[in-house]
Amino acid sequence: MTKIKNLYILIFILIGINAIILGVFIFKGKPKLKHRPPHITLIELLDFSLEQKQKVKEYKGHKKIRSSKKALQQMRIDLYSNIDKRGKSGAEIEKILREITKYQTVFEEESYAFFSFIRETCTTKQKEKFDKIILDTFKRPGMKEPFKNH
């Protein structure tokens, strides 16, 4: 009789522990996945006024930046795709590398012009904040681009 009583007590304890564990999962919900923080633009970080935002919107350099970036991507794809399937001559590779350099130069020039324009649009307080943001951004390891271009 004692063994059966102990068995029933053990079963009730196990059922209770399972109920508690299920209750924790049901009421707590699924564990939340860590999401990447939303992308914040430079304009948002500097807290631009409507007038400043309009000036940036009217800036015409965005198209050159985007087109040179797309051209760079395509040329890199052309250079590295099927690297083992076709034996490119040194002249072909040099030509592609010169084109990549040309578009990289355009991209850097336009990016510099854009950031110079942004800095000119800033107030004195925003300029101080801008300088700190840009320096921090370029010091980040693995940095690809400082910000969206709009």
State pLDDT tens for residues 80-124.
776 666 566 677 778 888 888 888 888 888 888 888 888 888 888
Could you tell me the CATH number of the domain that includes residue 67? 1.20.120
| Domain of residue 53, residue span | 42-139
Residue 7 is assigned to a structural domain of this protein: no
Half-sphere exposure of 74 (CA within 13 A, CB side): 8
Instruction: Say what the pTM is.
Output: 0.59
Please check the confidence at residue 149 and state whether its pLDDT lies above 50.
no
The owner of tokens 């010169």 is 98
Number of domains the chain contains: 1
List of residues 6+ apart from 131 with CB closer than 8 A: 119
Give 33's DSSP letter. P
Give the separation between CA 58 and CA 60, rounded to whole angstroms: 6
> According to the model, what pLDDT value does residue 22 have?
75
Comparing 18-27, 83-92, 95-104, 135-144, the range with the smallest average pLDDT is: 83-92
